[in-house]
Amino acid sequence: QKEVEQDPGPLSVPEGAIVSLNCTYSNSAFQYFMWYRQYSRKGPELLMYTYSSGNKEDGRFTAQVDKSSKYISLFIRDSQPSDSATYLCAMRGTNAGKSTFGDGTTLTVKP
Amino acid sequence: DVKVTQSSRYLVKRTGEKVFLECVQDMDHENMFWYRQDPGLGLRLIYFSYDVKMKEKGDIPEGYSVSREKKERFSLILESASTNQTSMYLCASSSRVGAVGEKLFFGSGTQLSVL
């Protein structure tokens, strides 16, 4: 069983929709939780970074972490065609730069 | 902005060839990483380095080696390329290992095909 499981998608939504992207994990040592966005033929770029449980908001994006359920989510409000990309969740413990990634969810936002 | 540059965007090699993938970062980051990305398997860590001449095995080091002679440059070496090493290879860098807010900065990737 993988340490990080990500909803596989693909996901296709109309412009303006609210998008929910989700990951579950099994390693209780994970404390740092990230979401990366990867456009086609590009490397991933960090979108959101949270520590421990709680919510973090940045513009149209909200990252949510529930450590008791080992579940993290990324919400995108008022989705735009420019949000079309693959979204990767990632997480790590305290002692290294070794992040464990989910497989990614490909999102398409249709105008 | 941090820039992580990978020397080749696409590479085609033959089975058994020795392959070098080069990565350079321009932000004086201590840490550098090599990942491979495959459909259905996500990003998997091959090797990483915390400092010049230091290296640590990641989750899938078999068939690979690395070299870090200078802080800004981290090379991935496939000693004898095999078809199962056909993949997208991503280099990344970061500063301050384990620090709150530590972020990975990725290059654009090298798509390697081994025939």
Residue the block writes with tokens 């149209």:
A60
- Cα–Cα dist A76/A11, whole Å: 13
Q: Please report the pLDDT score of residue B91 as a whole number.
A: 96
Note whether B21 contacts A: Cβ–Cβ < 8 A.
no
- Nearest CB to A97 within list B48, B101, B107: B48
pLDDT of residue A38 exceeding 60, the answer is: yes
List the single residue in B with minimal CA-CA distance to A52.
B100
Which residues of chain B have a pLDDT value below 50?
A: none
**Strand B10-13 relative to strand B110-114: parallel, antiparallel, unpaired?**
parallel
Residue the block writes with tokens 């080992």:
A70
Neighbours of A7 (CB within 10 A): 17
pLDDT of residue A80 exceeding 80, the answer is: yes
Q: Please report the pLDDT score of residue B101 as a whole number.
A: 58
Q: What is the mean pLDDT of chain B?
A: 91
**A97: chain B residues, CB-CB within 8 Å:** 31, 33, 48, 50, 94, 97-98, 102, 104
A99-to-A16, A34, A91, B11, B103 alpha-carbon distances in Å:
32, 9, 5, 27, 10
Neighbours of A47 (CB within 10 A): 18
- Nearest CB to A43 within list B41, B44, B108: B108
Cβ within 8 Å, pair A99-B58: no
